[in-house]
Amino acid sequence: MLIDLHTHTSPLSWDSFLEPDELVERSKQSGLDAIVLSEHDASWDAEEVKALSKRHNFLVLAGMEINTEEGHILVYGMHKYVFGMHRVSELAGHVDESGGIMFQAHPYRRQHPWNWESEKEWVNAFERSERNDALNYVHGLEVLNGRGKINENQFAQILRDRLALPGTAGTDSHAVEDIGKCATYFDADIRSEDELIDALRNGRYWPLDVTKGEVTKNEKYWEVPQDLSREFSDLALKRSLLSTDPEQQATERLTLAENSVKVIQSISNK
Ligand SMILES: [Zn+2]
Ligand SMILES: [Zn+2]
């Protein structure tokens, strides 16, 4: 099933132009199976979100997008903003306590280089992103953001490959034209927040550009891979190699850095 893991509504998110009912109805029409409302530093009331879901006969869940010193973090399974959450370690403590899970939103923001032509700047940008303290706490990265530019999403994808972390997709909808562009495909049938968290932690999922080209030119994200289990076991293997073998890590990073610069440059030149 297809779930949009990142959306904003008015008035809970000050910068959104979307009425909740409109977002839900249009998400449903666009072929999605569920959405998560991830308002900025705020959560929906459980009863209100249930009523919204019922009104449209469509699964709507409430998460949050927390603004931290290390960037925006998408949180699932926590429903209250507490002062201090702008520090990512403190946020992680609260999320752990509530049994939730965290993903780094649009990891390219404030990280990608200003000069797209400079190879050195690209390598520096990746290295800087990899030092982000949030990575010590998140389960994965948002590799497709519906409002990100093609090369910004490309940056996130390369970062995901370099770190061998699971990736998600979300539209980050703030306006009608954002709705339904991308979504996370889940192999499981998800009917509740607990099932969503469980699937994000253990399951098989894949970030999907529903438009096949507006969110990413990387065709890998236009279709769900034939063997998702294989994708996930390969990813886990790579992750463990990266964490246990510094030499492998160094070689891998260097190759990836060189490749990533080439890929990004070829895209930005188009
Ligand atoms: Zn954000
Ligand atoms: Zn957002």
| Statement: residue 166 has pLDDT above 80 | yes
Total-model pTM: 0.92
Kindly report the CATH class assigned to 2-268: alpha beta
Domain locations along the chain:
2-268
Tokens 């890929």 sit on residue: 263
Please report which ligand is nearest the Cα atom of 72: 1
Please report which ligand is nearest the Cα atom of 146: 2
| Statement: residue 236 has pLDDT above 80 | yes
Q: How far apart are CA 37 and CA 209, in angstroms?
A: 19
Q: Which of 2-6, 84-88, 140-144, 240-244 has the lowest mean pLDDT?
A: 240-244
| Stronger pLDDT, 173 or 250, i.e. the higher one | 173
For 270, other C-beta atoms within 10 Å of its C-beta total 7
Q: What tens digit of pLDDT does each residue of 71-109 get?
A: 999 999 999 999 999 999 999 999 999 999 999 999 988
Side chain identity, residue 155: F
| Statement: residue 69 has pLDDT above 70 | yes
75 alpha carbon – ligand 1 mean position (Å):
12
265 alpha carbon – ligand 1 mean position (Å):
25
Q: Which of 53-57, 158-162, 166-170, 262-266 has the lowest mean pLDDT?
A: 262-266
Determine the pLDDT at residue 261.
65
145 alpha carbon – ligand 2 mean position (Å):
9
Please report which ligand is nearest the Cα atom of 16: 2
